[in-house]
Chains A and B, each alone.
Chain A
Amino acid sequence: MDKTQTIREFIESHIVDPEFKGGIEGDIDIFGLGILDSMFALQLVNFIEERFGIAVTDEDLDIQNFSSVNRITAFVDRKKEALDG
């Protein structure tokens, strides 16, 4: 499964409103939906660290890196690049 799809599925499995399930577009602000709490935020960060083998630092914990499926994908790509390069 590709990275974006993995991230999308993780988010959708935690979203409480079925209206958004299967309908999370890449750029939609996931925290703007108002139905995700900080418990989810931490689970998301932990999931990304474990699934993609990266470490999210204090500085990385910026809502800008996590606010949409596309941004999370881009963030993971940057971190992996830094890791491999």
Chain B
Amino acid sequence: LSEEKEIKCVVWDLDETLWEGTVLESDEVRLKPGIADMVRTLDSRGILQSLASKGDYAAAMEKLEEFGLAEFFLYPEISWDAKSASIGRIRERLNIGIDTFLFIDDQPFERDEVKHVFPEVLCWKASAYEALLEHPRLNPKFITEDSRKRRRMYLEDIQRKREEEEFAGPKLDFLESLDMELVINGAQEQDLERAEELTQRTNQLNTTGIAYSYEELKALLRSPRHRLLVCELRDRYGSYGKIGLALLELHEDYWNLKLFLMSCRVMTRGVGSVLLSHIMKEAKKEGKRLRAEFKHTGRNRLMFVTFKFANFKAVSAGNEENMALENDLSAIKEIPPYIRVIETRSG
């Protein structure tokens, strides 16, 4: 079996799972004992939650409002659709791996249907819910500022997307209206928990897919031969949190980019290329060549394209999986006009 990832999203059924009773049959539904605290605890751990329930959307949401729980569920799916289709849509909107989902439902048929379509989804029967908070995959090693704010950041994203769809003018004007700022910092010790989390959670926009532990990152932070950069993206809706990481190994005549990643939440904002351009400019200014390590993971082709299109060339055919790339820094893409780069501490 492949390694078990931390669960990023718990998808709940409602009737006879989150609460006792069936909304459309009676008004007398009652939350299962301890469930409200459980939902809040998962939320505070940075684990997202959603709903895949059969029934009437308005009636179910009204109940959730009454219980004060509605705000905890992102992209709730309450309809008569197959639950696998609901989970598929939730996954697409959250843009996270299907193997990081937990689905809880009292009906064996629903669990089997989901399991059949998505074998990677962990499926639990409703009666097992009391053990939920103890489950190792629901206990992230660190709970960072970013994880605590995670649901709120997704809610801000929903707002952004809504306004983006409603925005009448050209998309460039919309991007300009966001007032984006990319803050690039040399990492400090308080950034390391989030940095570790980023190396573990980021798959698509990751040059190597190699996870670094807190201790390893701490050693790198102290090493005079390394520079660890952390970046945060902000716009007029708020902060996206710390969303990018770059690790440079400093050599006499070149820098080696050992790790470069961006959270998938900022995929459509083009900030990966901005950070890459920034690093390229820095290297050129210091008179260094720039190298980068790359490892195909089957999920990170977007990052490979980003590097190749930024003019990186393969230097060693060598091992198919582990590649060395190099950039002669002769053509560095300009930072687009709709984003401002702010450097506050050097690394």
Contact = CB atoms under 8 A, between A and B. Distances in A.
B334 A38 contact: no
B170 A18 contact: yes
B32 interface: no
Interface stretch (A4-12, A58-66, A70-78): A58-66
B222 to A, nearest CB: 33
Contact of A16 (B172, B304, B308): B172
Given A34-B334, A34-B336, A41 B305 contact: yes
A38 B301 contact: no
Interface residues of A, number: 18
A53 B34 CA distance: 55
B2 interface: no
A63 B313 CA distance: 10
Interface string B275-314: 0000000000000000000000000011111101111011
Interface in A5-28: 16-18
Q: Which of B175, B268, B308, B334 has most chain A Cβ within 10 Å? A: B308
B309 A41 contact: yes
A31 B309 contact: yes
A58 B172 contact: no
> Which one of B170, B172, B301, B305 has the greatest number of beta carbons of chain A within 10 Å?
B305
A58 B268 contact: no
Contact of B309 (A16, A35, A59, A61): A61
A1 interface: no
Interface string B198-229: 00000000000000000000000000000000
Nearest to B337: A34
A16 B311 CA distance: 23
Contacts of A34: 333-334, 336-337
Given A35-B336, A66-B309, A17 B172 contact: yes
B309 A63 contact: yes
B76 interface: no
Nearest to B274: A37
Given A34-B336, A37-B268, A37-B270, A42 B172 contact: no
A39 interface: yes
B267 interface: yes
B301 A42 contact: yes
Interface in B149-208: 170-172, 175
Contact of B273 (A18, A37, A45, A66): A37
Given A17-B172, A58-B314, 16 more contacts: A31-B333, A34-B333, A34-B334, A34-B336, A35-B172, A38-B270, A38-B303, A38-B305, A39-B268, A39-B270, A42-B305, A61-B304, A61-B305, A61-B309, A63-B308, A66-B309
Interface of B: 170-172, 175, 267-270, 272-273, 301-306, 308-311, 313-314, 323, 333-334, 336-337
> 10 closest pairs, A vs B, by CB?
A37-B270, A16-B171, A38-B306, A61-B308, A42-B302, A41-B305, A16-B172, A63-B309, A17-B172, A42-B305
